Structure 1
Amino acid sequence: MDVELRHLRSFAAVARHRSFSRAAEELLITQPALSRTIAQLEGKLSVRLLDRSSRHVELTDTGAEFLLHVERVLATLDQALAVVSHRVTLRLGFGWLLPDPWAQQAVSRFEESTGASVELTRIDDPLQALRRRAIDIALVRGDVDAPRGARVTPLYEETRVAVCSERCDLARLGHLDWADVQYWPLVVNTVTGTTGPWSWPIDERPAQIIETANYDEWLETVAANRGIGIVPEVAQRRTQHPALRFLPLTNAPTSPVSLVHFPDAQRTLIRRFLEAALPTALPG
């Protein structure tokens, strides 16, 4: 008969709600599409399962008997899927400091709704790890140079702050304007940093750039008073370092946060993770 799972879930939803409109809302499809699916099921079975009118939907005697078996089948299938889902893992790669509370909320929502788990992988270059398929989805800050064929999902924008050594003259000024960064040596994380010489027009760029290759090197170079840094505000809340001072950075553009993935990798899991991530995509 070639009856598909979508036919059974659609029928069970309509029978449960006694309404095509409410069932369509639950299934996240249009009402006409749901009506076609039910019509296909009745056509394949050559029986009438539902009595429809403009005001209500009722089960036929055959439909009521069929529903008992459908609910049993769906319950057994859901139990089987739950067993498997606990062994399924989505690998989320990030370069430094997962944003909060976004990360905690998104991971919690995903794991609760799917039964799968999220494996958090801190790696210097998440995009390179994504290219190698060492991770399934990458959290990236700043402008994204995504691999060919990858999809980028913007989350939100982070506020920038300045950071310097406690021995730096800037620490006594108490704040820094975006236009004045050019007068200070700037420490840059060339791999996953959100701010670098590329962030200004050529004639407004800092004259001295000190390059580092990851967040830890960047942090210790600023602490050693080799230059100042520009970083998303999350670093101020999450970084404990006695030699550093964080300062307001006025007139600075915000820094984007995005998720990057390949559409052919872990399709269902990534779709569910994006569903969990986007409602929580709020500045931390």
Structure 2
Amino acid sequence: MTVELRHLRAFLAIAAEGTITRAAARLHVTQPALSRTLRQLETHLGVRLIDRSTHHLRLTAAGHAFRPRAAAAVTAVDDALDPARAGTWPLRIGHAWSALGDHTTPLLRLWKQEDPDTPVQLLRVDDRLAGLEHGTVDVAVIRGEADLPAEVDTLLLLFEPRVAAVAADSPLTRKARLTLHDLVAEPIAVNTIAGTATLDLWPADDAPNSTVEVANTDDWIAAIAAGHAVGVTTTATAATYPNPAVTYLPLIDVPAVPVRLAWKQPPSHPAVPDLVNLARRLLLGERTRSRAAAGIPSPP
């Protein structure tokens, strides 16, 4: 049997909807036809992708592993057949939050100046790899450590200092800067999808007692603004998400966060190498100017 695109779409619809009934309605096919398509795909792969033993279908371990590959394949085919992309198509830059902070606008303006014929789309994707694994974007901004596939290349751009985010009326704002210990009495807002701050930042004998889990930066900001929690983030968030109800304060006893560009090999867009080189030039130039202003010699 030859696997066709419909087999992958069928699997992805079932995985997304959680039931054959809803997936069949989404794809406008009958339930028996959709079940047959799924069985054909599983037979071809020689593994069970979906556990049908429960009322709500669940992905097996093989199904979880196959899902991003199937999504990437479908996205690649859709992109290749998109009439709007027959000529020059947008270069998609993904980020889970804050893009490149203060560096975002200079990068986009310089790109428009140097390559005006290739449009850029900046996409926020609430995902640890900012859509790169699923093929939603061509280049991703990755903060902190991430489990990257073998085919992904990266470029370290900078290290972002950490800051604490607290409600503007919090007693903590009386201090000019904070330590991790200053936050232990408060619930910690943790972005479980793409955040870089977990309770592992704190020593085991001096850790907060509770967390407020959120799935994106908007909910993270809202929890802090309401006084339900405090947060730990980077200076990019303070620059990108100013909020009169939230105060950002330097956090002095925790390491800075590495920020990388990541892209697949081979690149999914011909302009990816140009963007990587532009980011390297821009960020390296800014670091050199910062060192010179501070009287620090440039490295040999």
Match 1:264 to one of 263, 266, 279: 266
Q: Percent identity?
A: 27
Q: What amino acid is the match of 2:215?
A: A
Structure 1 residue 182 corresponds to structure 2 residue 184: yes
Matches of 1:94 and 1:273 in 2, distance apart?
A: 15
1:86, 1:117 within 8 Å by CA — same for their partners in 2? no
1:151-187, Cα deviation, whole Å (9 max, x unpaired)? 2221101111111113433223443113443343211
Q: What amino acid is the match of 1:215?
A: T
1:91, 1:135 within 8 Å by CA — same for their partners in 2? yes
1:86, 1:116 within 8 Å by CA — same for their partners in 2? no
Match 1:229 to one of 224, 228, 231: 231
Partner of 1:159: 161
Considering Cα pairs closer than 8 Å and 6+ residues apart, tell me whether 1 or 2 has the greater RCO.
Answer: 1
1:236-255, Cα deviation, whole Å (9 max, x unpaired)? 23333232122222223111
Matches of 1:101 and 1:172 in 2, distance apart?
A: 26
Instruction: Report how many residues are paired.
Output: 201
Compute the displacement of 1:228 (Å).
0.8
Matches of 1:154 and 1:85 in 2, distance apart?
A: 32
TM-score normalized by the length of structure 2: 0.60
SS in 2 for 1:176: coil
Q: What amino acid is the match of 1:247?
A: L
Match 1:136 to one of 124, 127, 138: 138
Extract unaligned runs of 5+ from structure 2: 1-84, 291-300
Q: What amino acid is the match of 2:134?
A: R
Structure 1 residue 92 corresponds to structure 2 residue 109: no
TM-score normalized by the length of structure 1: 0.63
SS in 2 for 1:256: strand
1:127, 1:147 within 8 Å by CA — same for their partners in 2? no
Matches of 1:246 and 1:148 in 2, distance apart?
A: 36
**Which of the pair has more CA radius of gyration?**
1
SS in 1 for 2:184: helix
- 1:141-152 → structure 2 map (5 Å cutoff): 141-152=143-154
1:202-229, Cα deviation, whole Å (9 max, x unpaired)? 4443221211100000000111111111
User: CA separation of 1:198/1:277 partners in 2, compared to 1, >3 Å: closer, same or farther?
Assistant: same
Matches of 2:170 and 2:247 in 1, distance apart?
A: 9
User: CA separation of 1:252/1:126 partners in 2, compared to 1, >3 Å: closer, same or farther?
Assistant: closer
Compute the displacement of 1:126 (Å).
5.7
Extract unaligned runs of 5+ from structure 1: 1-83
